[in-house]
Chain A
Amino acid sequence: MRKITYRDALREALREEMHRDPSVFLLGEDIGRYWGGAFKVTEGLAEEFGDERVRDTPISESAIIGTAVGAAITGMRPIAEIMFGDLTALAMDQIANQAAKIRYMFGGQTGCPLVIRTPFGAGVNIASHHSQSLEAWFMHVPGLYVAVPSTPYDAKGLLKTAIRGDNPAFFCEHKLLYPIEDEVPEEEYTIPFGVADIKREGKDVTIIATLFMVHKALNAAEELEKEGISVEVVDPRTLTPLDKQAIIKSVKKTGRIVIVSEDCKTAGVSAEIAAVVAEEAVDYLDAPVKRVTEPDTPIPFSPPLEQYVIPNEKSIIKAVKEIA
């Protein structure tokens, strides 16, 4: 099968959906012909579909999302790009109070079919305002879906599902994933929300990981295999809806769980998953739940400082060994 990058897989999904459905259009800062998106995901699309459907906007995050909401409730399927995940803070009212609640508040009169794409993640030395992982903020808002693809295949299939759905979808990408290459079929496919993927089968310990952490978890599992510890890596692929059954099923099998997430520990993604296990699978556990996350700090700039706070293979292996 052909291999393409995560970036190209996202672009393919956008392009194919724009061909399929004339109501799909893109808006965001520098996504058009002059730049093609800060991470080049939309490169070439303005040339192909025109500036009307691949729309450069002013630096107005709140109005970008608000405009997407207004278009979504009047017959269009907008896909808004926020250049860095950190900047969603500027648009939080439109995301959390408007997009997420418009269907509910108005008694189901309207859907709000919009996608917000944005990259999270640390590791490229761009400090506190361009490196956070804020997925948990959006898990906390009923009415939003939250996708966290870790591979090119998942990125394309999940983005198509997000675009075709009638709910606002918050689509998390990761800066370090864009250049990663993997197999993506040429033929049409979509991936349903709420269905986890077992990225590696194992029997001794379950690791739940998302986004770039999936790759670090897989590397750790490879190392641990050499030492005789068989690790299962489960990737939820969407945080809302969360495939609780897949998590519980794996815990039943291994009796041990390590949750690896790049966001802060307190009230983060890992906290929610740990709570699910505590509520619904505690009887299957043979050891305490372990969490490997960023400590509760902003992301620092200097490389040794930044590397210190990001979870890595070493910290994952250490956590697994503590309970294996």
Chain B
Amino acid sequence: MYKKMLEIRLFEEKVFELYGQNLVPGTIHLYAGEEAVAVGVCSNLRKEDYITSTHRGHGHCIAKGADLKRTMAEILGKKTGYCKGKGGSMHIADFAIGMLGATAVVGAGLPIAVGAGLSIKLRKTNHVVACFFGDGASNQGTFHESINMASTWKLPVIFVCENNLYAMGTRQSSVMAIENIADRAVAYGIPGVSVDGNDVLAVYEAAQKAVKRARKGEGPTLIECKTYRHKGHSRVDPAKYRSKREVEEWLSKDPIKRFKERLLQTNSLTEIEIQRIAKEVSTKIEEAVNFAKESPYPASEEALEDIYA
């Protein structure tokens, strides 16, 4: 888990750097700071299990096992990317590992996750779906429609709300009269838990329980993970709506730093092993960057392909 979290962090730092060099077209929504959520949840999943993702989706892909090279190539708009350059940063998918794709419409992934859950039930497999979305999405109608449906039909869906306190620049407290989004689970008769989303073990344990429940056919769970994005909403956002003090406070709760300290304290990893992991991850990311940079752009006419089967 530590290695995966580090992969996401260094990957995102690299994307940020490449953006500065004008190598990333469009915009980017970085997952840095929220790594414990994707990794804590996906570490409970099998390859055949599904996830749905959002515009801030790089972390979900990597945590589910996506190839860094093809992910980076997609972000750079290259032909070798997962979507042949048609999706980009906000629309990465890898159906071979159950990553059903990132949708950039806030809240749109929830009913799609319900559909994957219904499909699992009708096909009688015992797979599960983890559906990632943010605090902002929990105010969309689809959140309520989807959880109601999944609950009524007892579908194997784990609804994972990444509450990073801001929907773009809008503070949660200014658009919701409740503090815990998990409380909304009560309305649908399912378990709702609120966990420290910067503590990977807390996320892991909550997800483990939810996955177990889903596999047994007992229905969905809503897990709210309280977390924080280290950067602004997107590359163009300096996040001036967040106070310096608040940012510093959350940076001190960095999920990777915390997990590393814990691993060292419990002698689960040595300082030397930590360094070795960091080196391995850096090398892997360098390889991904080189692959992406060296890959060709798609031919212009490919814009006309893949519309219909």
Residues in chain A within 8 A of chain B (CB atoms): 23, 25, 52-53, 57-58, 60, 62-63, 65-76, 78, 93-94, 97-98, 102-111, 142-143, 145, 165-167
Contacts and interface: CB of A to CB of B under 8 A. Distances in A.
A67 B116 CA distance: 7
Lowest 8 A-B CB distances belong to which pairs? A70-B115, A66-B111, A107-B83, A63-B145, A166-B309, A60-B145, A107-B84, A108-B306
25 contacts: A52-B122, A60-B145, A62-B142, A63-B145, A66-B114, A66-B142, A67-B112, A70-B112, A70-B115, A71-B115, A73-B115, A74-B100, A97-B108, A103-B308, A104-B86, A105-B83, A105-B101, A106-B82, A107-B82, A109-B82, A109-B93, A110-B93, A143-B308, A145-B308, A165-B309
B1 interface: no
A78 B307 CA distance: 20
B5 interface: no
B113 A167 contact: no
A109 B95 contact: yes
Given A58-B152, A106-B87, A74 B146 contact: no
A71 B118 contact: yes
B26 to A, nearest CB: 13
Interface of B: 50, 52, 81-87, 91, 93-95, 100-101, 103, 105, 108, 110-120, 122-123, 141-142, 145-146, 148-149, 152, 305-309
A167 B309 CA distance: 6
A70 B111 CA distance: 7
Contact of B86 (A23, A71, A105, A166): A105
Contacts of B145: 58, 60, 62-63
A159 B146 CA distance: 28
Contacts of A104: 86, 306-307
A74 B120 contact: yes
Contact of A65 (B94, B111, B113, B116): B111
A50 to B, nearest CB: 11
Nearest to B148: A58
Nearest to B142: A62
A103 B95 contact: no
Nearest to B98: A74
Contact of A57 (B93, B123, B149, B307): B149
B151 to A, nearest CB: 10
A244 B35 CA distance: 52
Given A57-B149, A105-B101, A107-B84, A75 B123 contact: yes
Contacts of A66: 108, 110-112, 114-115, 142, 146
Contact of B149 (A60, A69, A111): A60
B58 to A, nearest CB: 15
Nearest to B52: A70
A63 B83 CA distance: 26
B105 A97 contact: yes
A107 B86 contact: yes
A109 B100 CA distance: 10
